[in-house]
Structure 1
Amino acid sequence: MIITSEAIVISSLKYGDSHLIVHLYTEASGLRSYLIRGVLKSKKGRMRASLFQPLTILDIVASHKDKGNLERLREAKIGMPYKTIHTDFIKNSIVFFIAEIIKNSVKEEESNPSLFNYIKTSLTWLDVHHEVANFHVTFTVKLTQYLGFYPDTSTKKTEYFNLMTGNFQDTYESGHTRRGEAIEAFKLFLGTNFDDCNRIKLTRAMRNEILEVMLLYFELHLHGFKKPKSLQVLNEIFK
């Protein structure tokens, strides 16, 4: 089956001397993996390795056999050129973190237009704004809406957050119950959009603590989720 779709690059891996295995999140077919032969040595081919930087938005034409194997990518071109994401060190570090989050949490090989549009819209916002210190926290919190475990905010005024159930409560219940400054700051991100998130003033330590809580939350709700390796770099960037 031939599909034409927008796609977001999640990751790429060198295979052999000249090939790439590329993981794309496609609007038409969800997460797909492609073997692109000879792209690392090709000088005249229609596809270049530079197309497959993390979270690049592409327009693709692909052949899918839907047998769980590597698919064939026939054409790929930039769908939305970035102005700053791949040249700004801070934004590029955020991109690597977000790409790992997506890779470790999104597994479905089926269309999910709302999730695809959320990721695309988020990247568009990141590309054109300068104040981005809280972007990755906001992105991670909002992503849980599309993955099915967004916290229940009906009792948000209570003291404790239960990471296992996703509920706020007024009593300590288990080792996965948290309270304190980080939880109070975390509450501020619930229902907050990207335009407003930088009004939330955080120290680097507090931002890092919120991220640690969120990543544990992901681990508890997503089988096989792994903490991003890029987290340490990201934690050192923002003061």
Structure 2
Amino acid sequence: MLHKTRGVVLKYFKYRDTSIIAKIYTEEFGLQSYIVNGVRSARAKGKIALFQPLTLLNMVVYKKASSGIQRISELNCSTPLNSMPYNVVKSSIGVFISEVLYKCIKEDEPDNSLFNFIHNTILTLDHQKEINLNFHLIFLIQLSHYLGIGITSTNQFMHINNSDKLEKLKELSKSDYNSKHAITNSLRRAILNDLLQFYKTHIDIAGEFKSIEILRAVLK
């Protein structure tokens, strides 16, 4: 049976010579795996671009309860990203966001609130004229609530023996993506490490976050 759904691409893996398996978070079915044949062939004419991380899609998909890997009947980009692919800071934050989502989302059940949060996060990052260098920190704090491990107060970080860090965490926990906070690069890195450690403590996360090195290189 065919179903219409919106989707957000999280990651794809090469499969055989010309195909891929795409991990897409969908509005109707949660996290799904889709096999896409021939998309890496010369005849595909750049269709692989539709499967870059954080691409926003309109999809018509098959859904078989007995199959772990589904198929796509039709798809198109629902909202092209105008600045993120061409801005090194935005694209680096985007790579980090996609990796966090891929590692943390486990459920193949729909969650409209989580989907809308992810969708709005991507569009907000793309539309920002002045990039908020704390965007990824605010994202982690806000995402934690949708994953059921909500960071609600700095009491969860009382092991941190640094008053400046605790005060900034408190400010960030009450912030939106457009909030401005003066945070030094070294303190920003330290807060990121603490937030990711919090995630690892509460969620079964495989491996390390590889995109951290990219963030460290561009957020100076």
Is the structural similarity TM-score above 0.5? yes
Contact 2:90 2:131 in 1 (8 A): no
Structure 2 counterpart SS, 1:178 = coil
CA RMSD for the aligned pairs?
Answer: 1.6
Q: Which runs of 5+ in 2 are unaligned?
A: none
Structure 1 Cα separation of the partners of residues 131 and 87 of structure 2: 12
Q: CA deviation at 1:208?
A: 0.6
- What TM-score do you get using the length of structure 1 for normalisation? 0.86
Question: Does 2:156 align with 1:162?
Answer: yes
The total of aligned residue pairs comes to 218
Q: Which runs of 5+ in 1 are unaligned?
A: 169-176
Contact 1:55 1:95 in 2 (8 A): yes
Q: CA deviation at 1:209?
A: 0.5
Could you tell me which residue of structure 2 aligns to residue 96 of structure 1? Answer: 95
Contact 1:218 1:225 in 2 (8 A): no
Q: Which residue identity is paired with 1:219?
A: K
Could you tell me which residue of structure 2 aligns to residue 132 of structure 1? Answer: 132
Q: CA deviation at 1:205?
A: 0.8
Q: CA deviation at 1:56?
A: 0.4
2:185 to 204, 213, 222: 204
Contact 1:27 1:112 in 2 (8 A): yes
Structure with bigger RCO (C-alpha 8 Å, 6+ apart): 2
Could you tell me which residue of structure 2 aligns to residue 183 of structure 1? Answer: 166
Structure 2 Cα separation of the partners of residues 4 and 49 of structure 1: 21
1:235 to 209, 216, 220: 216
Structure 2 Cα separation of the partners of residues 182 and 44 of structure 1: 49
Structure 1 pair 221/44, CA: closer, same or farther in 2 (3 Å)? Answer: closer
Could you tell me which residue of structure 1 aligns to residue 149 of structure 2? Answer: 149
Q: CA deviation at 1:133?
A: 0.8
Structure 1 pair 94/152, CA: closer, same or farther in 2 (3 Å)? Answer: closer
Could you tell me which residue of structure 2 aligns to residue 64 of structure 1? Answer: 63
Could you tell me which residue of structure 2 aligns to residue 171 of structure 1? Answer: none
Larger Rg: 1
Structure 2 Cα separation of the partners of residues 68 and 188 of structure 1: 45
Q: CA deviation at 1:68?
A: 4.8
